[in-house]
Amino acid sequence: MARRFTDKKLVIASHNRGKIVEIADLLAPFGIEVISAADLNLPEPEETEKTFIGNAQLKALASARAANLPALADDSGLVVAALDGAPGIYSARWAGPDKDFDMAMEKIHIGVGDDPDRSAAFICALSLAWPDGHVENFEGRVDGELVWPKRGRGGFGYDPMFRPDGFDQTFGEMAPAKKHEMSHRARAFALLVAACFA
């Protein structure tokens, strides 16, 4: 049985503005005061794990212990079949220190080349950690395909080059509310809510 979340304040263990906004939007209905690791000037731990859940848990525990508050961390990325699962857990790092996702998308496009397999998936792991070291982990996934040229200016990261299965629009073209309904983060979040908030 998952531990219930009963606190009134939660740290989002991230320095990524787009991710912070998206998670804060998903938390809004619960009346929880949200503060980011960036707002608290918490250091970003080095992501040394080999899985999305491993890295999410590492970040959540670091923020929970540093802030002495429960913390929610996300580790997510784009998994491309033609690139043997890359960039995967290295999705943010592919964008370099300047977080240049236009360059990262170009790198994926060039890497895939003429490969007819354009399938890809966004995966999101969420870890909710408490200062005592307890952690609950959840994972969501959305399958789709890569498009080129990229389309749309919404979302963040690789959203403009990813079209989810069953949709004509990329994540970059979707209104935020529509993306929130079915994204990898929303799916992981639904599991989190059902286990810890419902």
Q: Which residues are catalytic?
A: 75
Question: Distance between CA 95 and CA 92 in Å, rounded?
Answer: 6
Other CB atoms within a 10 A radius of the CB of residue 146 amount to 24
Cα dist from 188 to 101, 122, 125, 159, 194, whole Å: 23, 11, 7, 17, 10
Instruction: Tell me which residue of 85, 16, 72 sits closest to 44, measured CA to CA.
Output: 16
132: number of Cβ within 10 Å:
9
Closest alpha carbon to 163 in 118, 107, 106: 118
User: Quick check: helix, strand or coil at residue 136?
Assistant: strand
- Local structure of 20: helix, strand or coil: helix
